[in-house]
Amino acid sequence: MPPPQTADFTQVTLSNVSRHYGRRRALSQANLVLSAGEIIGLLGPNGAGKSTLLGVLSTLAEPSGGEVRYGDRTARQGGAPLRAQIGFLSHELQLYPELTARENLEFFAGLYGLDHPAERAREALVLASLSGRADDVVEGFSRGMRQRLALERALLHGPRLVLFDEPFTGLDEASCGALVTRLEQLRAAGSIVVVATHDLDIVDPILDRAILLRSGRLRELGQTGSLRARYRAALAETPPRRRRGIAPAAPGPQGGEAGT
């Protein structure tokens, strides 16, 4: 049998994807197309299912129903080569606290099968602004330092599908600005970037699209007004109960504040 071929990641397509936990439906018949060279914001209240959707996209969670295709292949058809093109920064930062920053990065570079892991680690430490702490154990790092290190860990292998779950957590203003620049660079390189976030004001200028996940259903927000105003307007509406996939976009009012 020939080895599985990986997907080209020009598009990732969700078709009627559901994910159930007992009687709770974290995702309900979701339809979505993600295209290369896009930054997509994934918005929604706590517990709306954003982390579940990212888990499904990352292949770490299987849908209870429906299908996810990466190009023309499913995760099972693409196998390990497909997964090697996905980078995922979750709430669990996947760092070893007893290892140094350098050791963490070198370990993951080896896990990804990258050439010259020591050099890759040095470059990542520079990007994380952690060169001066390279040989300190991660256990002593602040949350922001761990976040920056974990971000570079997720990007070490040059993934084509990049999934971030609240990536701005613990970051100061300068680090947030640096992350925004990295996101724009990923888009320019043709990656698909999905960012689940409550930091609406930070991502508003760079998002190509914003998707609301609520009650297990997806809805694309319109383009009129600030992201915060569109989000607030969408939450003020009655949650959909019978619509499937992405509901039609509705324009939001200009200006205004909303909690995230």
Q: Is 116 helix (H, G, I), strand (E, B) or coil?
A: coil
Tell me the per-residue pLDDT of 129-158, one tens digit each, with 9 for 90 and over.
Answer: 999 999 999 999 999 999 999 999 999 999
This prediction's pTM: 0.87
- Band the pLDDT of 246: cuts 50, 70, 90: low
CB 144, CB 172: distance < 8 Å: yes
Homologous superfamily of domain range 1-84+202-250: P-loop containing nucleotide triphosphate hydrolases (3.40.50.300)
Q: Is 107 helix (H, G, I), strand (E, B) or coil?
A: helix
Rounded CA separation 254/157 (Å): 41
Q: Which residue has the tokens 């019978």?
A: 242
Tokens of 3: 């080895």
State CA 154 to chain mean position distance: 10
pLDDT of residue 142: 95
CB 43, CB 165: distance < 8 Å: no
pLDDT of residue 47: 84
Tokens of 164: 């971030």
**CB environment 240-260: b (16+ within 10 A), e (fewer):** eeeeebbbebeebeeeeebee
DSSP class of residue 110 equals H
CB 222, CB 252: distance < 8 Å: yes
Tell me the per-residue pLDDT of 118-136, one tens digit each, with 9 for 90 and over.
Answer: 999 999 999 999 999 999 9
Domain ranges for the chain:
1-84+202-250
**Whether residue 242 has pLDDT greater than 70:** no
Q: Is 157 helix (H, G, I), strand (E, B) or coil?
A: coil
- Band the pLDDT of 239: cuts 50, 70, 90: low
Tell me the per-residue pLDDT of 177-204, one tens digit each, with 9 for 90 and over.
Answer: 999 999 999 999 999 999 999 999 999 9
Rounded CA separation 242/253 (Å): 25
Tell me the per-residue pLDDT of 82-94, one tens digit each, with 9 for 90 and over.
Answer: 999 999 999 889 9
Tell me the per-residue pLDDT of 199-236, one tens digit each, with 9 for 90 and over.
Answer: 999 999 999 999 999 988 999 998 889 999 999 999 99
CA separation, residue 139 to residues 90, 145, 202 (Å) = 18, 10, 28
Characterise 114 by phi-psi region: left (phi > 0), alpha (psi -120 to 50), beta (else): beta
